[in-house]
Chains A and B, each alone.
Chain A
């Protein structure tokens, strides 16, 4: 067990749990066959990009981020609901570019997902050099305010999942 990385171990455990779930039965046979299959899958060098190593996850900050995220999901839905129900068209849309503090794929993905589930915003495009994220906004009242909100969200994400320092462009 000297060459097993914690990432791979976690993946194997996860796959075995899924295997047991699908078989609807936690037995010795299922666990055994599950482990064999999981090891086989992880042994095959799949051409998946190696994006995970180097990231440190801080559990407390992660919980804080997820709590904020849950709140955002609810508020964003209420905003969308109001937009759908009322007759007046409150939409004044625009696309705003926000500078990213890290080029890490994981951080950008989590941030983009969170932005899409925030009130009135939708992640649209990442610039070629991964330095900017473009966000479509339903109600643009103040461009700088949008940027500030996204930056605040980005700080929360970065505190929860810290990327390798090589990817940090500037201090968030």
Chain B
């Protein structure tokens, strides 16, 4: 296992742990989505990079594919949950301190 590979794997794993701590620490759904869609995906990218240094061409290509897939889908997933929360009839705790143009637009549309 090369030194670079080792470092990337540990760094990536540590970054996902960081994002997990963020998910626990943040107090509203949207902030938690920020943590997951940004930090966890980067952690994965680092881990995939580290693993790719250890593997032959076609396995490395598969990992690259996984990376692209995750980068496209995790933010989209967060977006879907975000708009579901907005439309949801239930009472979800969200925190908005300043402007909320989405709600303004909704009330304007009636």
Contacts and interface: CB of A to CB of B under 8 A. Distances in A.
Given A95-B102, A113-B75, A84 B21 contact: yes
Contacts of A143: 98-99
B37 A122 contact: yes
A122 B76 CA distance: 10
Interface size class of B (residues with CB under 8 A): 35 or more
Interface in B5-58: 15, 18-19, 21-22, 25, 28, 30-31, 33-35, 37-39, 41-42, 45, 58
Contacts of A96: 99, 101
A125 B98 contact: no
Interface size class of A (residues with CB under 8 A): 35 or more
Given A123-B79, A140-B97, A140-B99, A80 B58 contact: no
A116 B81 CA distance: 13
A116 B96 contact: no
Contacts of B78: 116, 122
Interface of B: 15, 18-19, 21-22, 25, 28, 30-31, 33-35, 37-39, 41-42, 45, 58, 61-62, 65, 71-72, 75-76, 78-79, 82-83, 86, 95-103, 105, 109
Which of B25, B30, B33, B65 gathers the greatest number of chain A CB atoms within 10 Å? B30
Nearest to A112: B79
Interface string A109-128: 10011001100101111011
A127 B25 contact: no
B82 to A, nearest CB: 5
Interface residue SS majority, chain A:
mixed
Contacts of B15: 77
Interface stretch (A2-10, A31-39, A54-62, A130-138): A130-138
B5 to A, nearest CB: 20
